[in-house]
Amino acid sequence: MKEYELTVLIHPDLEADLEKALGVVRSLVADAGGKIVKEDSWGKKKLAYAIKGEHFANYAYMECELPADAPLKISNTLNITENVLRYLLVRVDEKARKAAEEAAKKAADKE
């Protein structure tokens, strides 16, 4: 399985019931055969431009491990999900991650 990052912008009216909307995304990942390694909710933020008439969105970030056919299944479902304004599903670049970790380690050693 490969590592992916999934960022989802959820409709701002669902702020009080955000857990239900996130549960749909979690079950979507699980149904596709993947698992969520890390999850972080960034809260409600102002958008740079209006999306579907909305100026705010609830941001959620997830690190997932997915099989090869899962990204297409997840993308197809998120495209038609009404509560999701936008999403971004990208594969993690291992070289960039290792370079960032090494740079952070070198900076910590200098201090």
Angle at 84 between CA 80 and CA 87, to 5 degrees: 95
- CATH of segment(s) 2-110: 3.30.70.60
pTM of the model: 0.83
Q: Residues of 91-100 as b/e, b for ≥16 C-beta within 10 angstroms?
A: eeeeeeeeee
Give me the pLDDT at residue 77, please.
93
What is the predicted pLDDT for the residue at 95? 85
Residue 17 has a pLDDT of 86
**DSSP labels, 55-95:** EEEEEEEEEEEE-TTHHHHHHHHHHT-TTEEEEEEEE--HH
Rounded CA gap, 81 and 37, in Å?
23
Listed by start position, the domains of the chain span 2-110
Instruction: Enumerate residue ranges in the chain where pLDDT < 70.
Output: none
